[in-house]
Amino acid sequence: MATEGKLAYDADFKLKAISREFSINKSVVHRWRKQEDELHLTRKTKKSFHGRKARWPGLEDGLHLWISEQRAAGRSLSTVTIRIQAKTIANELHIEEFKAGPSWCFCFMKRQLSICTRTTVSQQLLADYEEKLATF
């Protein structure tokens, strides 16, 4: 007998289930009733509310702005420099319990940034590369 995987329902289906239109497990409907206000505000095709919210949203907003400025200036950033800047911003905001650990940095990058490395051309192209390409 094949086991069924976990099902994902969109917000519209959840709202209909709350109004007792379908026969769904009570615990699931109870959790959806708690989320009813959020479900009305979200788009109807959204399937879940997974992922943790930021513990310090002001810190993360300031750090995201700083990272955007650095990227616009063409600077590459390591996780160490991001963590150092996060600690600096936390001190400015008087957040004492913030540690800026590696796991926080990785989760921040998943929440706020596209995790990718900026690509660069390491060798300069020759001045007459088009001619050589055409003759090749």
| pLDDT value of position 102 | 92
pLDDT for position 5: 64
In this structure, of 11-20, 52-61, 89-98, the range with the lowest mean pLDDT score is 11-20
Q: How far is CA 98 from the centre of its chain?
A: 20
Q: Which of 112, 116, 114 is nearest to 59 (CA)?
A: 112
Find the DSSP H helices in the chain: 11-18, 26-34, 36-41, 57-72, 79-92, 102-112, 129-135
What is this structure's pTM?
A: 0.54
pLDDT tens per residue, range 38-64: 888 877 777 777 667 778 889 999 999
Concatenating the DSSP letter of every residue in 17-47 gives: HHTT-S---HHHHHHHHHTHHHHHHS-TT--
Give the span between the Cα atoms of 128 and 51, in whole angstroms: 52
> Which pLDDT belongs to residue 27?
79
